[in-house]
Amino acid sequence: MRRMRDVPQQNRPREKLSKKGAAALTDTELIEAIIGRGTTRRDVRAIARDIGERIRPGRILPSYDELSAVDGVGPVKAVQVLACYELGRRYYCTNADTRRISSPADIFPVVEDLRGQRQEHFVCITLNGAGEMISRRTITIGLLNHSLVHPREVFADAITDRAASIICVHNHPSGSLDPSPQDIAITGQLREAGAMLGIELLDHIIVTKTGFVSLKEKGIL
């Protein structure tokens, strides 16, 4: 893992937050922004990673003593982290429509309607830094035996959404779950374009009547 000083200025958490908003940051980046800096022995990114492992969703928030015992945290950083979480707990209103995506299975209900489509649909799902879905958009319909879509069409709305990442989905009316050479090619193009824009392509999923396949899980992405 690169040290913070090796990360380009515009990609550091505080600069990224000021330009794109807090929702564009990952959990670890938010922690980095909160604690600010590391120690002479440990970089802020390593410390933030260790804190993040203790506050994952579904786990009880660690105590002050547990956090302050993390190498590089200490009393001051422990207080900063716990104070931020408590403030968020007091003022955050849960949105029942928020959907968090952490696996291909989570995205399938969002695009299940593609299973019965007779034409090929290419869909882009935009996500914020917490992995929560911002929007679903259909990019193209009806392309067969062609490169599915141009990267600029995929990322135009992702930029507008200030998305941290995207997941692309398209259906195969033929019923085949095998990715075509065109599928593989456009996946590579989208990955490269996303890397340049700072918007990660998390996965490319193919949907059919019988199920779905993740190109990431197949090792293509």
Cα–chain-centroid distance for residue 188? Answer: 18
pTM greater than the 0.85 cutoff: no
Residue 99, both tokens? 């959907």
| DSSP-derived 3-state class of residue 144 | coil
Cα–Cα distance measured from residue 39 to residue 73, given in angstroms and rounded to the nearest whole number: 9
What's residue 95's pLDDT?
Answer: 52
Rounded average pLDDT per 10-residue block, the chain, 221 residues: 77 88 88 91 92 76 88 92 83 62 87 88 91 91 66 93 94 92 92 94 94 93 86
E-only strand ranges, the chain: 121-127, 133-141, 165-171, 200-208, 211-214
Integer CA distances (angstroms), 122 to 17, 87, 138, 151, in order: 30, 40, 6, 12
What are the residues facing 203 on neighbouring strands? 167
Cα–Cα distance measured from residue 157 to residue 122, given in angstroms and rounded to the nearest whole number: 14
Specify the amino acid at residue 90: R
Looking at domain 104-214, its CATH superfamily turns out to be Cytidine Deaminase, domain 2 (3.40.140.10)
Tell which residue, 65, 90, 89, has the closest CA to residue 78. Answer: 65
What's residue 213's pLDDT?
Answer: 94
Q: What share of the chain is helix, strand, coil (3-state, %, to 5)?
A: 45, 15, 40
For the chain, the distance separating the N- and C-terminal CA atoms, rounded to the nearest angstrom, is 20
Tens digit of each residue's pLDDT (9 = 90 or more) over 98-152: 678 888 889 888 898 898 888 899 999 999 888 889 999 999 987 654 546 889 9
Helices (H), ranges, 10-150:
13-20, 27-35, 44-54, 64-68, 74-91, 104-107
